[in-house]
Structure 1
Amino acid sequence: MISRRGLSATSIRETAKHAEAPLGSTYHYFPGGKQQLATEAVRFTGERVARRLREEPAAGPAAGLRAFLGLWREFVVGSDFHAGCPVLAVAVEEPQDGEVPPALTAAAEVFEQWEALLADSLRAHGAEPGQAAQLATPVVAAVEGTVAMCRAKRSTEPLDRTAGQLQALVAAATAK
């Protein structure tokens, strides 16, 4: 629901209804309410993507990039362009009370994890250490932004264009 509506438009009550779970059970498992639920959703998505990033880059950063892009392609196409990345959805929400909510902290940690996994793969396959870190950040940023563009345009064309450019950058960084 967060990936479709954003965090502000997602309530505990609607989430429980969507999950066909009693509202009381939802609060039992998420006593911290909406913020705890959002934090867990971010961490769940983060780990799901990280698993793919750990498996595929063993074959090289180009394979890791294809897996990263492929995962998001499956996600946006599978939702008929109605869902984006819940990590990004949480990251762009303005904190209501001026404090950094746990879900936002989790989003930052997830983005850092994805960047680190991509950078590790780049380094392991010939990229200079500094260059690997410098490239991993724009890869994550480009893919996240492209997912949002795919939703808006209801097309995978932005993903296809971004994929080509990112693949060229990864190939250049790892050329020996």
Structure 2
Amino acid sequence: MGSTEPRQRIVAGAADMMRRRGVNATSVRELAKHAKAPLGSTYHYFPGGKQQLVTEAVRFAGDVVARALAEELSAGPVEGLRAFLAWWRGVVAKSDFTAGCPVLAVSVEEPADGATALVAAAEVFTRWESLLADSLRQHGAGEREADQVATLTVAAVEGAVAMCRAKRSTEPLDRVAVRLEAVVVQALVER
């Protein structure tokens, strides 16, 4: 990959640290160390400093999740939801409940210099909602219902992931999974 490899490694490392420690508890120095990159390279690749790096890490994480979600939704909204929730369950369990969502971390912490990161987080959430809503519409849900269920799903999953970390248990995600599946099925039946 040439010269873009260290840059990508730093962005991926930033997303990983943000999902584990949050934004404000993560310094550029620690990000460079975590990515096994020289500190100077972070300033070379990210002249906008931490704000630029955080924004790019949010977009990177958003792309990773969007790809996984789109792949899972190819089987349909119910199957996609099940697989997507299983994916998140794996994320929190495999990390021993230390990893969550870097997009949520930015949204909750609202970094002082992070206006662009917040805009990126909003765009990521909107993209995930659109993927879900499009799948619901393609399988018979009405326009308004699809949009509402998609927003509910993203909000519920993000909240459940945060609760899983706090409780050190997948139980919140498991409970949300049952109710969300019922909501998705109902949205498809009511049409």
TM-score bin (small chain): over 0.9
Q: What RMSD in Å do the two structures reach over aligned CA positions?
A: 1.2
Question: Equivalent residue for 2:34?
Answer: 18
Relative contact order: is structure 1 or structure 2 higher (C-alpha 8 Å, sep ≥ 6)? Answer: 1
Q: Is the 8 A contact 1:52 1:67 kept in 2?
A: no
Paired-residue identity, % = 70
Give yes or no for the alignment of 1:47 onto 2:63: yes
2:49 corresponding residue in structure 1: 33
**TM-score, reference length from structure 2:** 0.87
State which of 170, 173, 186 in structure 2 corresponds to 1:156.
170
Q: Give me the TM-score of the superposition, normalised by structure 1.
A: 0.95
Residue matched to 1:68: 84
Aligned length in residues: 174
Comparing 74-83 with 106-115, greater Cα deviation is found at 74-83
Write the distance in 2 (CA, Å) between the matches of 1:4 and 1:54. 24
Unaligned 5+ segments in structure 1 are: none
Alignment of 1:47-126 (within 5 A): 47-96=63-112, 101-126=115-140
| Structure 1 residue 95: Cα displacement | 4.2
Code of the aligned partner of 1:107: A
2:75 counterpart letter in structure 1 = A
1:4 deviates by 1.2
Unaligned runs of 5+ in 2: 1-16
Return the offset for 1:71: 2.1
Q: Provide the rounded CA distance (Å) in 1 between the counterparts of 2:59 and 2:66.
A: 10
* Whole-angstrom CA distance in 1 between matches of 2:73 and 2:98: 29
